[in-house]
Amino acid sequence: MLSGEESKQRLREQRMNTPYEIIVGLEVHVQLQTQSKLFCACPTTFGLEPNTATCPVCLGLPGALPVLNRAALDLALRAATALHCVIPATTRWDRKNYFYPDLPKGYQISQYDQPIGGPGYLEIPTPEGGLRRIRIIRAHLEEDAGKLIHAGPSTLVDLNRAGTPLLEIVSQPELRSPEEARLYLEEMAMLMREIGVSDCRMEQGSLRCDANVNIRVGEAVTPIVEIKNLNSFRFLEQAIRYEAQRHYQHLQRDPSFRLGLRPKQTWGWDEQAGITRPQREKEEAADYRYFPDPDLVPVQIDEAQRQAAQSAVGELPSAMRQRLVKQYGLSSYDVGVLLGMGRAGVAYFEAVARVAQDAKAACNWVTNPLAAVLKERQLSLQSPPIEAERLGGLIAAQQQRGLNRQQAEAVFARMLAEPIDAQAAIAALGITVVGDETVLLEAIRQAMAAHPKAVADYRGGKTAAANAIKGAVMRMLQGSARPDVVERLLKAELDRPQGATSEVDTPPSA
């Protein structure tokens, strides 16, 4: 992940080097985390044998009637609430008619003019450390189609996914770069995970995205191309960048390549070739022949349901990001890493910081040594390998006793191995720290005498030369010297005019 300043510089360079403005709107498909499908009791478990999670309802057999999954409705309400959407008093179901091998009924149960979520917005972080609001047009519930598996000359159909509950979230075309589109999708995924709506595992298809892309060059605006079924953040960014460049090159060759003069088209992303490929002209709403589903009644949404959804949402990641920066003085980068560990990671960090009384040190320990242990042992912070209070105690002990990094890491390892606190681990390891300034000053003077060139270099303006002397002091005392005290005394000694008396040498007044 780039730092804030690096991201800012990268965006500046891209804007200067790009002769066109990119216009992107995203249609994000989020699979809701339910145990059964949207209108039947078939399981939504990933990885089952093909066509084993099906029934007359999701196969669209004659006489089969759908029944709404209440859990899916509640999760959709929660997501719409988190996206600041307008929640209507009534939402209804429509049939979206089209014919494709993986759509067994010949239509998809979806929502058209009365979706579960009206206009809303999602806030994404900017390189400057602020927030940018991307408006959302709508969020609507619908059932997923099946899956086509291309095997040589044959195409196989797996209908296990057919009927799985999806929430489609459609943004305004307000994203202005491939990086910003990726950031929007990452923020959306984090939000959906944190509020318990979806696991957003792109490799399993529970988060997918269609990107509507065109460009503006002066007064010319190119036709919109919809890039379908992007299933990774990297592919989204690559596909938008490629498509924008393709539009620019096409417009240079053919000035009639303009919005309104050419129909909207659907293209696919070929990740192996790194290019987009045409699929078909894009259907409009009229082509789908929407009409209200006669088998499903409209859903009434009352105030109690709205309040339940609001309570389930809790603190939003955007609000949490601002609070962590303001309350703890952390950088945008640090906060981004913490948020990447989820709400459990943020809660753990805050518990560590309360004990350690040093937010930056707590963040460093949680996002580096602890995160490495979690990854190595495949653990989560629901059952942490070391309690937050003990880790906070280690950080406090490190500062109070002046442990260097190697000593602190040794204590950390011992605390992981045994349920003991930092002081007990320090004692068990036999760690001693020399903090006596008289002893340290003597070692510093010996090191300075042994490294006259480093002393001369420092006094000649090369401040980094002090590191050689500090290293010599640490070796002389076998790593037991308090590094912070050594740094302070060494600087004072190097900066002291020759012949002047050190404060440590000065006897107390009578």
pLDDT digits (tens, 9 = 90+) for 148-176: 998 889 999 999 999 999 999 999 999 99
If pLDDT is split at 50, 70 and 90, which confidence band does 9 have?
Answer: low
Helix, strand, coil percentages, rounded to 5, for the chain: 45, 20, 35
Predicted pLDDT of residue 127: 78
Asked if the model's pLDDT at residue 3 lies above 70, the reply is no
If pLDDT is split at 50, 70 and 90, which confidence band does 445 have?
Answer: confident
If pLDDT is split at 50, 70 and 90, which confidence band does 400 have?
Answer: confident
Backbone dihedral region of 132: left (phi > 0), alpha (psi from -120 to 50 degrees) or beta?
A: beta
The C-alpha atoms of residue 224 and residue 262 are separated, in whole angstroms, by: 9
Going by C-beta distance under 8 Å and a sequence separation of 6 or more, which residues neighbour residue 396?
355, 356, 357, 358, 422
Q: Stretch 495-507: mean pLDDT, rounded?
A: 61
Q: Stretch 404-417: mean pLDDT, rounded?
A: 92
Predicted pLDDT of residue 91: 97
If pLDDT is split at 50, 70 and 90, which confidence band does 264 have?
Answer: confident
Where is pLDDT greater, at 295 or 284?
295
Q: Which sequence spans correspond to the domains of the chain?
A: 11-306, 316-429, 437-495
pTM of model > 0.85: no
Q: Stretch 377-397: mean pLDDT, rounded?
A: 94
Model pLDDT for residues 63-73, shown as the tens digit of each residue: 999 999 999 99
Predicted pLDDT of residue 508: 45
Q: Stretch 252-257: mean pLDDT, rounded?
A: 93
Q: Kindly state the tokens that stand for 324.
A: 């962590």
CA distances to 1, 78, 190 from 341, rounded to whole Å, are: 14, 21, 10
Model pLDDT for residues 85-132, shown as the tens digit of each residue: 999 999 999 999 999 899 999 999 999 999 999 999 999 988 777 889
Predicted pLDDT of residue 55: 97
Q: What percent of the chain has pLDDT over 70?
A: 92
Mean of all residue pLDDT scores within the chain: 90
DSSP state of 36: B
If pLDDT is split at 50, 70 and 90, which confidence band does 260 have?
Answer: confident
Asked if the model's pLDDT at residue 483 lies above 70, the reply is yes
CA distances to 443, 468, 471, 487 from 458, rounded to whole Å, are: 18, 10, 15, 14
Predicted pLDDT of residue 194: 94
Predicted pLDDT of residue 504: 54
CATH class of 437-495: mainly alpha
If pLDDT is split at 50, 70 and 90, which confidence band does 502 have?
Answer: low
Predicted pLDDT of residue 434: 62
The C-alpha atoms of residue 279 and residue 265 are separated, in whole angstroms, by: 8
Helical H segments across 107-206, by residue range: 178-194
